Chain A
Amino acid sequence: MERSWYWRVALIVAVALFSLWQLVPSWFYFKLPPDQRSTEAYEHAVPGWAPTSQKHLNLGLDLQGGIHLAMGVDVERAVKAKVARRADEIAEYLKSKNVPAESVTTTAGGTRVAVKAADPKQVESSVLDSYDQEMYSPGVVDGAVTFAFKDTVLRDFQSKAVEQAEKTIRNRVDKWGVSEPDIKRKANNQIQIQLPGFKDPEKAKELLGRTAQLEFKITDDENPALDQLRGQLTPCATADGFRIPLPQGGCWSTESVELPNGTARAVTILAANTRPEIEKLIQEKATPLLDPQKNVVGIGEATVGQGPTRQQYYRTYLLRAKTELTGDYIADARAAIDQSQQFGQSGRPLVQFTMSVEGGRLMQKLTSENMRRRMATVLDDKVETAPYIQGEISTNGQITLGSGRNPQEMFEEANQIALVLKAGALPAPVTISEERTVGATLGPELVRRGTVAALIGLGLVLLFMVAYYRASGLVADVALVLNGLLVLAIMAMIGSTLTLPGIAGFVLTLGMAVDANVLINERIREELRAGRTIKQAVQQGYDKVFWTIVDSHVTTLVAALVLMNYGSGPVRGFAVTLAIGLVASMFTSIVVTRAFMEFFTRHETARLSV
């Protein structure tokens, strides 16, 4: 045998073994009963010698049951709200500057602000003096000066509205403790949500219930009510710092807080790894100790550790029950860099926000009464941030961030907080534009039918090849089985999803994979008829059809790639399976079968049934 033959055989054996090895996690995953396929049970079941990434084949929503939702964010309404709020602001602004104006309204379907005044020029210059960063004046219409937002501002604003909606959705999904939810933004202001295994479509509608509710509450840091829990629960920290992950069922820790009188106090907080866990802990341990009229426990997110060991956890804030102010009163919020030189803070990221006129009054009262306390911003029942009140705030306020981190990270955080505050300024409702729910009873039946169908297809193809081409057919059959194995292994390796159309795609690629061997064998027959020796015929057969096989695979691959780009969900699953199948088929039909055939025809006098 040629030297290269040994190399090729080594490669084939390596690929076969590697494929089997890659399928080990999937094997153990599917051995678990469907309702026990949680991350933990799975990690426990997989042996140590399995591939370290532990990626396995996943069942698509159509086979596993679950919910797929696409939600459209009504950005038009958010824009209208922004214009209406700006109109309010401008009216107040003109009043403060003593510029006479008859009326300030919205026009052009709520997309422009119109100011009626005796002296339009004065209004125009006065407004643009202050708002020229964001607005321009398209001119005077019916005796009123109009103002519109610049396109760049609107685009940025719309994308913020979608981002905000996505954040709200994430928050709400997070509360249910669904394993592996997949939430992503799509084109056309759409957000796609996939909740595998989730069985409660009514609950999913909660995602739409209302636009996110933002509330301001004051923390109750002097209240010692929760301090007695320290004796009853496990501490979160050992002498070396926080345990990662936190103990099951939650734990307690302390946070050093500066009180209004200048002293510091170690405030008790509770912490846990998941939101359902901490909710249970609060309900069982903390709530009985509190007066519901006076206090509530807020939940926030925090992280511990750096880099790869960084882990997210949930913690509590003890808050006063009263909602002091809601986000409805916020007109705008943005992240900015501190330009002032005072306190030596120049260049620090901060969050600026603007309240409506009435909101400004409420805010002023709230801040003056609670100077140097912390004010928690609670978005959809989650404490997002709790900065200290350092000065009186009325219409315009700002939140400075804690120091000591890199500016990039801090600016990111400032952006996040601005986004939270915008929940008030961005009343962009979401509507369901697509919903696909598969109940738990359908999946297993489809899997069963799909498997039977695939086995019948595979069996028929195997039978046909061996009946028609005898020994050569058997060689093609071995390659075909290896092909199936390889396809599944690659899918497992990239953790891709097996859908019902995906099974159909898998079956189809098996049929297409033998096409290549049909071409090769037919060519060999032809070469034999032309009077070549079997060894020459095999060589010629493979050489001559090589490019034909490549061409035919590439054209189908092109179609598969286009489909991958177009489809989502099950159809995408089909395209992925088809593409992987085609690549695997090129390897098995050309490399694998050829190595076998060359082995059987190594002598000039060899006989081979084709």
Chain B
Amino acid sequence: MRFKSFDLIPHGTKFDFVGKRHIAVALSLIVNAAVLLWAVPAIHGLNFGVDFAGGTEMEVKFGQPVDPGAIRKSIEDLGFKGASVQTYGAESENAFLIRVERIALMSDADVKRVVDAVQAKVPIQSWSFNPEIGDKIDFQFKQPPSPQELQAAVEGAGIGVREVRAEQGLVAGTRSFAVITQGIREKIEHDLATRFAEAKPDVRRVEYVGPAVGRELRNQGFKAVLYAIGLIVVYIGLRFDFRFSPGVVIAIVHDAIVTLGYFAFSGREFNLTSIAVILTVVGYSVNDTVVVYDRIRENHAKFKGKSLAEIVNLSINETLGRTFLTSFATALSLVGLLMYGVGTIFDFSAAMLVGIVSGTYSTWFIAAPMTIWLEELADKKKKSRAAPSAAAPAAPAGRAAQK
């Protein structure tokens, strides 16, 4: 049988992956540590999107060029500090992403000022303020004032009022009042529509997430990544051998952190979709590892005499082509998204690409050599326990290999 084929990666390579493992591990440790350090809020921190940080985000498209500085100024004039205005998509589209933080909308001092101002006009029976909501104070009065009076009193304290709402009181038959102080979205939208009237602003998308929800989503997202890693490790453990699991865990965590690195170092927004990418990378990056582990298992049964290091090297080299090509094919599918995706979808694709590359690297330089390191560790333990026993070194995955 004559057989011809064109190989992108030549077969029969004899690259010494195992020998390079010390350099690789050192490099990975440095990269991972850098990402984690960079992601620490005190040092630099991730650029949390509204999903996780809470706040308001608006995508506005104008009919003609507008200076982002002018937009920022007009928002600051409204009293919202720390607004960020970025161009969104291509420059020529005149689209902007406006973000306003909302956490601690009213500080305790603000609340106290409002309460004192109201107290000076009308005796308050009780009041309450929930910092999780942040823009609403509830009042109960013995002698209810008119909503207009109340609004005037609050505005007297220098706090803008969106609405005074009469609600049912705590005690049957009484009234209470909710004073709602701000409405970021309405104010900005109205302001843009009047100040930039000739540029025809079109508010295309608004996202508002309350601070409590943001925190909840963040915690859940972190947990979801941990659950996924845990479940995958259990699966790999059941399918192969639990001795393979540490290598898999380290490789997965490595890839998740490197993917996080995309968001940390680029300063791009970290949001719900970012969690989706990390989870997908976690699931996908194991694929390459599985291929190599499968081969290690196969070769281990085939070449009884060879050392584990030789077998691992051989296995990686034999599967080099497919490991590279599968990653390449998946990366190819992302090209369109990288070209045409804007904002979140671009970040999704770019981070996925980083994850795919990292997954391939970690398979070659981390996951596979890790089995050797673990084996050496197990050997040392065994030797220190039962000194000169002549037992042959246990093979990883001997169990499932004989079929």
Contacts and interface: CB of A to CB of B under 8 A. Distances in A.
Contacts of B202: 439, 441
Contact of B165 (A201, A210, A460, A558): A210
Contacts of B235: 551, 554-555, 558
A570 B205 CA distance: 14
Nearest to B4: A609
Interface in A169-207: 188, 190, 201-202
Interface in B319-338: 321-322, 325-326, 328-337
A563 B279 contact: yes
Contact of B280 (A437, A458, A559): A559
A77 B6 contact: no
Contacts of B333: 457-458, 460-461, 507-508, 510-511
Nearest to A458: B333
A456 interface: yes
Contacts of B173: 328-329, 356, 358-359
Interface residues of B, number: 89
B329 A511 contact: yes
A322 interface: no
B345 A85 contact: no
Contact of A457 (B282, B335, B348): B335
A324 B206 CA distance: 43
A254 interface: no
Chain B interface mostly? helix
A103 interface: no
B81 interface: no
Nearest to A548: B294
A452 B286 contact: no
Contact of A456 (B205, B321, B340): B340
Given A522-B322, A562-B228, A511 B331 contact: yes
Nearest to B319: A522
Nearest to A70: B213
Contacts of B136: 431
Contacts of B224: 562-563, 565-566
A286 B236 CA distance: 71
Nearest to A190: B213
B326 A578 contact: no
Given A211-B167, A460-B336, A548-B294, A436 B206 contact: yes
Interface string A353-380: 0011011000000000000000000000
A533 B1 contact: yes
A62 to B, nearest CB: 8
B85 interface: no
Q: How large is the interface on A (under 10, 10 to 19, 20 to 34, 35 or more residues)?
A: 35 or more
Interface string B82-117: 000000000000000000000000000000000000
Contacts of A508: 280, 330, 333-334, 352
Contacts of B290: 548, 551-552, 555
A489 interface: no
A583 interface: no
A460 B335 CA distance: 8
A127 B366 CA distance: 71
Contacts of B126: 110
B113 to A, nearest CB: 22
B284 interface: yes
A244 interface: no
Contact of B291 (A190, A211, A519, A534): A519
A468 interface: yes
Contacts of B170: 77, 80-81, 84-85, 110, 427
A84 B171 contact: yes
Given A85-B172, A454-B336, A457-B336, A434 B208 contact: yes
Nearest to B210: A433
B276 A556 contact: no
A589 to B, nearest CB: 12
A331 interface: yes
Contact of A558 (B3, B207, B208, B228): B228
Contact of A507 (B176, B318, B337): B337
Contacts of B325: 468, 518, 522
B267 interface: no
B276 A551 contact: no
Query: Could you say which of A209, A501, A522 has the most chain B C-beta atoms within 10 Å of its C-beta?
Result: A522
A515 B138 CA distance: 59
Contact of B287 (A110, A555, A567, A610): A555
Contact of B171 (A85, A424, A533, A555): A85
Given A508-B333, A551-B239, A552-B291, A439 B203 contact: yes
Contacts of B204: 438-439, 441-442
B275 A558 contact: no
B149 to A, nearest CB: 19
A533 B136 CA distance: 78
Interface string A116-147: 00000000000000000000000000000000
A528 interface: yes
Given A449-B342, A468-B8, A555-B286, A427 B329 contact: no
B272 A429 contact: no
Contacts of A533: 1
B232 interface: yes
Given A511-B332, A562-B228, A210 B166 contact: yes
A427 B167 contact: yes
Given A504-B337, A559-B232, A328 B205 contact: no
A348 interface: no
A442 B294 contact: no
A522 B341 contact: no
A25 interface: no
Nearest to A62: B205
Contacts of A435: 185, 206-209
A557 interface: yes
B5 interface: yes
Contact of A434 (B130, B209, B318): B209
A84 to B, nearest CB: 4
Nearest to A448: B340
A190 B210 CA distance: 12
Query: Could you say which of B136, B239, B328, B337 has the most chain A C-beta atoms within 10 Å of its C-beta?
Result: B337
Interface string B271-308: 01101100110111011001100100000000000000
Interface string B10-45: 010000000000000000000000000000000000
B280 A511 contact: no
B12 to A, nearest CB: 9
B283 A328 contact: no
B330 A511 contact: yes
A427 B61 contact: no
Contacts of B241: none
B329 A504 contact: no
Interface in A526-571: 526, 528-529, 531-534, 547-548, 551-552, 554-560, 562-563, 565-567, 570-571
Contacts of B174: 328
B119 interface: no
Contact of B231 (A449, A461, A562): A562
A453 interface: yes
A468 B6 contact: yes
A37 interface: no
B59 interface: yes
Q: Which 3 A-B pairs have the closest CB atoms?
A: A559-B283, A456-B336, A511-B333
Interface of B: 1, 3, 5-6, 8, 11, 59, 61, 126, 128, 130, 133, 136, 138, 165-174, 176, 178, 185-186, 202-210, 212-213, 216, 220-221, 223-224, 227-228, 231-232, 235-236, 239, 272-273, 275-276, 279-280, 282-284, 286-287, 290-291, 294, 318, 321-322, 325-326, 328-337, 339-342, 344-345, 348-349, 352
Given A449-B340, A519-B322, A562-B228, 17 more contacts: A87-B171, A190-B213, A327-B168, A329-B172, A356-B171, A432-B210, A441-B202, A450-B345, A457-B333, A460-B336, A507-B333, A512-B284, A518-B322, A551-B239, A552-B286, A558-B235, A567-B272
